[in-house]
Amino acid sequence: MADTISLVPNTGGALVATPNEDVLERRFADFETFCDALDYAAQGKRGFNFHDARGTLTRVYPYSELRRDALSVAYALIARGVKPNDRIALIAETGTDFAALFCGAVYAGAWPVPLPLPTSFGGKDNYIEQLSVQLASSDPLLLVGPDEIAEMTAAAAQRQGCGHATWADFAARDTVPVELPKPLADDICYLQYSSGSTRFPHGVAVTHRSLLSNLASHSHGMEVEPNDRCISWLPWYHDMGLVGCFLSLIANQVSGDYLKTEDFARRPLAWLDLITRNRGTTISYSPTFGYDICARRISSQTGVADRFDLSRWRLAGNGADMIRPDVMQSFVNAYADAGFKASAFLPSYGLAEATLAVTIMPPGEGIRVELVEEERLSGSPRDLSRPARYRAIVNCGKPVQDMEVVIRGEDGGSLSDHKIGKVWCRGVSVMHSYFRDPEATAACLVDGWLDTGDMGYMADGYLFIVGRAKDMIIINGKNHWPQDIEWAVEQLPGFNHGDIAAFSVETENGEEAPAVLVHCRVSDPDKRIELRNMIRDKVRSITGMNCVVELIPPKSLPRTSSGKLSRAKAKKLYLSGEIEPFNLAA
């Protein structure tokens, strides 16, 4: 029998959330296309539930209603001239509008392209520039976004020369049904941008077959149970939010509850309040920083057992950035009295180029780490005159179904257990290509194998990730391309191309922060301080974080034999003291 009171809403009984259990027999994403998956989910009573900043249930959205709205959107899009394979760019605001437009675009045979909302930093012009560059990459017929930011989205659309609309334009839909195209399993379903890049975006083209394979992998890897429910604040433009906490719920017929990402940022404990009110078992994912915020936010004097009940949190997923075991332990220490179990942690590894999941820890095994000598991680020889230093490397689980993982050395050969090398994977859910970028596609796809760009090792069938082989800077679960930071600083007066190197460093408190090395041609001490502050403000506008800015003598940054900047070597020289910054008095 269906559980009709699966979530206790904070609404005085006005709304009742969609159930956890349903009479509709669950199918684990075994569909030909995503359209088939939504058609099936719409026959049951499960669906999405949207909550405000205080966790109050404000909108119940069963999959039956989502399908009805999506079909209406599809008819409206076709009436606008949308054809199969056209791209429809959508600002990924968590809510019914984006959900219906995304699914409607798929029904119409078009490719939805989720794009980010503006952040509280960076400003209007930077957001318009970011959208414009991603629109230039995806070449959409239409950009659709929230009414509240219509001025910015219209400006970006005008700059790119594509059509523009808002949620309101699709709200009062009086559409005439038409025959919809029948998608095939190997047709492209959507484009996913793998980073927040504003200069070098890569649109990952994902087919229906790849998507459904990965969504089935989620349900089997997590051993989804009848009474499970997903609770999420992750943004829908990020692969973990879009695929893991939106599309997967439809294809596996799981009810979900959502806080907007910006609401979580303001009141992170509302996430745990929502989990507390779930009367089923909870599946909820977060990057490491989400657990860190919640552990720091709760006071040691607070009676966590009186406010929270986390005993039914069955799977506390970890992903999207490097998993820090010390943060996970702090979370356990903070919330054990509320019933949280360390065995609920579910480390995983994935990337947009593999649709999402590559490995998942078997449920119940929790966080498992191995201590690895830092010299082994860096590849440098062991200095026997100094005490050994170790780093805890988190076990990221076993390959999901239909996925193979191998570790390869510099010569391309497979490495044995505990040998660190490049992580490669092959499977049904590996991307079709980077959209209109055959060179980038050929660089990472070789004979069906995907070069993930990450370094790691295997041990007894489990994958351990030790770091990024690429220059990507990942902080609080968000990717930052160093080229974007360097490019932004280069726009300041007095700099030339190649004057800046950006990478991440570990600060004194153990957190990651962006660091920027800058060639300085100014000799006046006061002017140098002014310049450093200007650079810091510029980088903060791009990343939203404080950064380490070091002014260094001209021609200090190392280059490769081909003349390209070597960020990895610049970081190594900086940390070793071989690149010596100017000493600033303040």
pLDDT in the model for residue 561:
36
Beta bridge partners of 513: 505
Domain CATH code at residue 424: 2.30.38.10
Strands 478-480 and 473-475: antiparallel
8 Å CB contact between 107 and 113: no
Residue 430 is encoded by which pair of tokens?
Answer: 């590996």
Q: Are residues 47 and 162 in the same domain?
A: yes
Q: Are residues 71 and 137 in the same domain?
A: yes
pLDDT in the model for residue 130:
84
Backbone torsions φ then ψ of 15, nearest 5 degrees: -125, 150
From 64, 21, 61, select the one nearest 279 (Cα to Cα): 21
Provide DSSP, 64-117: HHHHHHHHHHHHHHHHTT--TT-EEEEE--SSHHHHHHHHHHHHTT-EEEEEPP
From 107, 114, 36, select the one nearest 71 (Cα to Cα): 107
Residue 252 placed within a domain = yes
Provide DSSP, 295-355: HHHS-TTS-HHHH---TTEEEEEE-SS---HHHHHHHHHHHGGGT--GGGEEEEEE-GGGS
Q: Are residues 439 and 386 in the same domain?
A: yes
Q: Are residues 242 and 377 in the same domain?
A: no
Provide DSSP, 395-426: B--EEPTTEEEEEE-TTS-B--TT--EEEEEE
Q: Are residues 137 and 254 in the same domain?
A: yes
Q: Are residues 151 and 185 in the same domain?
A: yes
End-to-end CA distance of the chain: 68
Beta bridge partners of 207: 188
Domain that holds residue 431: 348-468
Domain CATH code at residue 541: 3.30.300.30
Strands 281-286 and 228-232: parallel
Residue 302 placed within a domain = no
Quote the CA–CA distance of 370 and 350 in Å, as a whole number.
20
Residue 195, classed as helix, strand or coil, is coil
Residue 168 placed within a domain = yes
* Domain boundary residue, one of 417, 448, 468: 468
pLDDT in the model for residue 9:
39
Residue 493 placed within a domain = yes
Place of tokens 């054809």: 83
Residue 581 placed within a domain = no
| DSSP letter (8 states) at residue 57 | E
Domain CATH code at residue 134: 3.40.50.12780
Q: Are residues 512 and 390 in the same domain?
A: no
Ordered per-residue pLDDT tens for the chain, 586 residues: 232 223 433 444 579 999 999 999 999 999 999 999 999 999 999 999 999 999 999 999 999 999 999 999 999 999 999 999 999 999 999 999 999 999 999 999 999 999 999 876 457 887 898 899 899 999 999 999 999 999 999 999 999 999 999 999 987 667 889 999 999 999 999 999 865 444 567 899 999 999 999 999 989 999 999 999 999 999 999 899 999 999 999 999 999 999 999 999 899 999 999 999 998 999 999 988 899 889 988 876 678 999 999 999 999 999 877 788 888 999 999 999 999 999 999 999 999 999 999 999 999 999 999 988 756 665 556 667 667 667 788 999 999 999 999 999 989 999 999 998 999 999 999 999 999 999 999 999 999 999 998 889 999 999 999 876 666 677 776 656 676 788 778 878 888 767 899 988 887 777 788 899 999 998 888 899 999 999 998 888 777 778 899 999 998 898 643 345 778 788 888 988 889 999 886 5
Quote the CA–CA distance of 416 and 410 in Å, as a whole number.
14
Residue 487 placed within a domain = yes
Q: How many domains does the chain have?
A: 3
From 209, 207, 253, 212, select the one nearest 230 (Cα to Cα): 253
321: left (phi over 0), alpha (psi -120 to 50) or beta: beta
Q: Are residues 448 and 484 in the same domain?
A: no
Q: Are residues 369 and 270 in the same domain?
A: no
8 Å CB contact between 465 and 322: yes
Residue 445 placed within a domain = yes
* Domain boundary residue, one of 437, 468, 499: 468
From 468, 453, 524, select the one nearest 494 (Cα to Cα): 524
Quote the CA–CA distance of 491 and 493 in Å, as a whole number.
6
Question: 96-107 and 63-79 helices cross at what angle (nearest 10)?
Answer: 60
67 CB-near residues (< 8 Å, 6+ apart)? 38, 39, 41, 42, 103
pLDDT in the model for residue 375:
61
Residue 307 placed within a domain = no
pLDDT in the model for residue 559:
66
Q: Are residues 262 and 191 in the same domain?
A: yes
CA 96 to chain centre: 20
Q: Are residues 255 and 382 in the same domain?
A: no
Place of tokens 């049951």: 44
* Domain boundary residue, one of 258, 276, 294: 276
From 552, 213, 255, 578, select the one nearest 401 (Cα to Cα): 213
Q: Are residues 497 and 566 in the same domain?
A: yes
66 CB-near residues (< 8 Å, 6+ apart)? 38, 42, 47, 48, 96, 99, 100, 103, 250
Quote the CA–CA distance of 225 and 281 in Å, as a whole number.
8
Amino acid present at 492 = L
Helix or strand (DSSP H, E) at 214: helix 208-221
8 Å CB contact between 78 and 109: no
Distances (CA, A) of 11 to 8, 91, 271, 289, 495: 9, 29, 17, 30, 56
Residue 209 is encoded by which pair of tokens?
Answer: 């077959």
From 226, 215, 213, select the one nearest 314 (Cα to Cα): 226
Quote the CA–CA distance of 143 and 164 in Å, as a whole number.
5
CA 134 to chain centre: 17
Residue 575 is encoded by which pair of tokens?
Answer: 């940390």
| DSSP letter (8 states) at residue 321 | S
Beta bridge partners of 251: none
Helix or strand (DSSP H, E) at 375: helix 374-378
